[in-house]
Amino acid sequence: MIKCAGWLLVFLGAAHTLLALTLEGAARYAGEWFSGALWGEGFSDMSPANSVLWLSLESFGPPLVVVGLIVLWLDRRGITPPPFLAWTLGIWGVVDAVILITTPWPLPLLASILLLVGGRRAARRDAHAPEGPRMGRTEAPGGARTRP
C-alpha cells in the first residue's frame, strides 16, 4: 500500500507539471522565464508568462514528485513513512475538494488513505514479529520505525 501511495504521488506531481508545460503551453514562455522578464512583476497583476510559471514549474507538482520518491525510498528500506505525511496529504485533498471540486482531489486523498492503512499494517506486523538480530522493530536514524 505504501508503494502504491508513493507511485500515485509521483504520477500526480509529474502529470500536473508535464500537462501544464505541454497542454497548457507553459513551455513556450521559457524564454521570458529565464531572461529575467518576470523579476519586476507582482502577484496581483500577473502576465501570462508569470501565470503559467506558477501553474507548471513553481506549482505543487515538482515537490510532490519528490515526496512520492521519498515515500518509495523509505518503503524500499523498510521504513514506514510518518503518519503526519498521510494526514497532511489528506487535509490537502479535502481542502482542494471544498475549494474546487474539479481538481483531482481524490488522488492525494487516496494516497493519504493508502499511507495510513499501510502504516498501521506495518505497525501491527512489527508488534507481532519475534525479536531477534534481524527481525522485529529497529530504529532508523531519526527514530523512524523500520520493517524487517
Q: What is the pLDDT of residue 6?
A: 97
Structural contact between residues 119 and 9, judged by C-beta atoms closer than 8 angstroms? no
CB–CB of 139/145 below 8 Å?
yes
pLDDT of residue 74: 96
Low-confidence ranges of the chain (pLDDT < 70): 131-148
Could you tell me where the DSSP H helices lie in the chain? Answer: 2-22, 30-35, 48-55, 61-76, 83-99, 106-128
Per-residue model confidence (pLDDT) at position 131: 64
pLDDT value, residue 136? 46
| 56 SS3 class | coil
User: How high is the pLDDT of residue 135?
Assistant: 45
- Predicted TM-score (pTM) of the model is 0.80
The pLDDT, as a whole number, for residue 40 is 85
Residue 138: the pLDDT is 53
Given this model, what pLDDT does residue 132 score? 53
Q: For residues 64 and 16, is the Cβ–Cβ distance under 8 A?
A: yes
pLDDT given for residue 8 in this prediction: 97
